[in-house]
């Protein structure tokens, strides 16, 4: 039987009863941060549901929903996540009268427009991968030629780097154009200036639930038990800074200034109906990375750009997570393969998600092919890279039968560089 909620929900809302993503919010005008679940245009207060006794039997009385982050709930593991989801689904069904009492609804449901949203987790560590073959091939072709586009290791392991967790910010917080060392074409010395090549990166991120002990890798066939859910992620990049600094140790200042994520964490249970096979991997991965089940996800992704002069955004890219070569479980298994200890709330980014066609590329570096083919925008404007006043918005969804699983947005405006310190 099709699941329906007593909350009126538009079929294209993205937040039907089949989704129920988790986030952190404060109610209008009062109260501390607490856990909420999004349904339609409302946030359900899980802390009050817990006080009423709906969750205590499977969270061990830990009061995980009164906390200002999802870390404690994420640490409980998949059985607790599933049971909580089952309780919420049953309470929100149209045939269940429990929460439909007007007085109770007033205490438990807040219009999402009235609440303040916060980062969903205390992010202890942030790692960004480079898992899209199309993206890696495009970038490699630009800088090394088509014959040497992929480095020798790329088809054998998920390449990644350790990012900066402190600068992960929530959608809606604007991004200040960073300064850094840039070596101009033909120049003998670098200069310290605002980046002239600020770029977006269309990514998704996933949060670690239960961690692992130091020295004990997470096996590939159990990696899914350690993944709580997913968000949209924009790993802003200063390409000119990156070009000068990245050898020999990779990105540093070019990516440490900001990473934007969406506020609602969509659980892997909600995404389970949208699992797909993913690309064939040749050569076959080493045994510690060999998958036995489909590990891709059919998630439609979109990038919109709106300049300060435009009255409406324009879609500049449409991509899909199912094209990503290295899967989420492979990324997590590889990250922990040395015995590196993962912790609840750790965030892992997929890296830029580019499809096979030019309109599906996930960065301006690719969409404009290093600035050689500028984007044409309404009103005669063009873009090679982002300018001050530009707003970038990432969206994503899975299309079900009569419903959508949405992720909301990861959006920010580019502000001018600050005063030279």
Sign of CA dihedral 246, 200, 198, 359: positive
Q: How far apart are CA 220 and CA 330, in angstroms?
A: 6
Token digits for 118?
Answer: 């916060």
Q: How far apart are CA 290 and CA 286, in angstroms?
A: 6
Strands 109-111 and 42-45, by their bridges, are antiparallel
Give the count of alpha carbons within 13 A of 288, CB side only: 15
Strands 259-261 and 168-170, by their bridges, are parallel
DSSP 38-63: EETTEEEEHHHHHHTTSSHHHHTT--
Q: Residue with structure tokens 């917080």? A: 173
Nearest C-alpha neighbor of 33 from the set 20, 18, 41, 22: 22
Q: How far apart are CA 184 and CA 143, in angstroms?
A: 16
Nearest C-alpha neighbor of 51 from the set 31, 76, 71, 78: 31
Question: Which of 135, 226, 334, 335 is flagged as catalytic?
Answer: 135
> How many C-beta neighbours within 10 Å does residue 5 have?
21
Indicate if 135 belongs to the active site.
yes
HEC string for 119-188: CCCCCCCEEEECCCHHHHHHHHHHHHCHHHCCCCCCCCCCCEEECCHHHEEECCCCEECCEEEECCCCCC
Distances (CA, A) of 415 to 164, 308, 386: 20, 11, 10
Nearest C-alpha neighbor of 393 from the set 194, 260, 268, 222: 260
Phi and psi torsions of 225, nearest 5°: -70, -15
Mind telling me the catalytic residues? Answer: 135
């Amino acid at each position: 039987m099709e699941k329906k909620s007593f909350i009126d929900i538009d079929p294209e809302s993205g937040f039907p009863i089949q989704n129920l993503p988790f986030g952190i919010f404060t109610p209008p005008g009062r109260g501390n941060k607490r856990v909420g679940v999004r349904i339609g245009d409302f946030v359900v207060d899980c802390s009050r549901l817990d006080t009423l006794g709906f969750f205590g039997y499977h969270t061990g009385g830990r009061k995980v929903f009164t906390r200002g982050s999802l870390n404690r709930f994420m640490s409980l593991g998949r059985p607790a996540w599933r049971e909580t989801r089952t309780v919420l689904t049953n309470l929100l069904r149209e045939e269940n009268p429990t929460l439909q009492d007007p007085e109770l609804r007033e205490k438990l449901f807040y219009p999402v427009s009235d609440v303040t949203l916060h980062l969903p987790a205390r992010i202890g560590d942030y790692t960004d991968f480079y898992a899209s073959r199309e993206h890696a091939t495009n970038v490699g072709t630009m800088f090394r030629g088509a014959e040497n586009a992929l480095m020798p290791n790329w088809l054998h392991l998920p390449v990644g780097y350790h990012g900066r967790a402190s600068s992960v910010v929530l959608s809606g917080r604007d991004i200040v154009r960073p300064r850094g060392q840039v070596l101009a074409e033909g120049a003998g010395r670098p200069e310290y200036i605002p980046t002239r090549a600020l770029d977006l990166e269309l990514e998704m991120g996933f949060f670690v639930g239960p961690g692992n002990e130091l020295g004990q890798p997470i096996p590939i066939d159990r990696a899914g038990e350690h993944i709580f859910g997913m968000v949209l992620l924009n790993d802003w990049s200063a390409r000119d800074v990156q070009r000068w600094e990245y050898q020999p140790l990779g990105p540093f200042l070019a990516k440490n200034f900001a990473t934007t994520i969406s506020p609602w964490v969509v659980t892997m249970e909600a995404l389970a109906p949208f699992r797909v096979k993913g690309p064939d991997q040749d050569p076959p991965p080493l045994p510690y990375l060999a998958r036995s089940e489909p590990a891709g996800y059919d998630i439609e992704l979109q990038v919109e750009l709106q300049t300060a002069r435009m009255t409406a955004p324009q879609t500049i890219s449409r991509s899909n997570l199912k094209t990503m070569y290295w899967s989420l479980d492979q990324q997590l298994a590889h990250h922990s393969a040395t015995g590196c200890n993962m912790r609840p709330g750790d965030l892992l980014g997929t890296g830029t998600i580019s499809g096979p066609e030019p309109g599906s590329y996930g960065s301006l570096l690719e969409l404009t092919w290093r600035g050689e083919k500028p984007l044409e925008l309404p009103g005669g404007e063009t873009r090679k890279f982002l300018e001050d006043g530009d707003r970038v918005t990432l969206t994503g969804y899975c299309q079900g039968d009569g419903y959508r699983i949405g992720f909301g947005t990861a959006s920010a405006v580019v502000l001018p560089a600050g005063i030279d310190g």
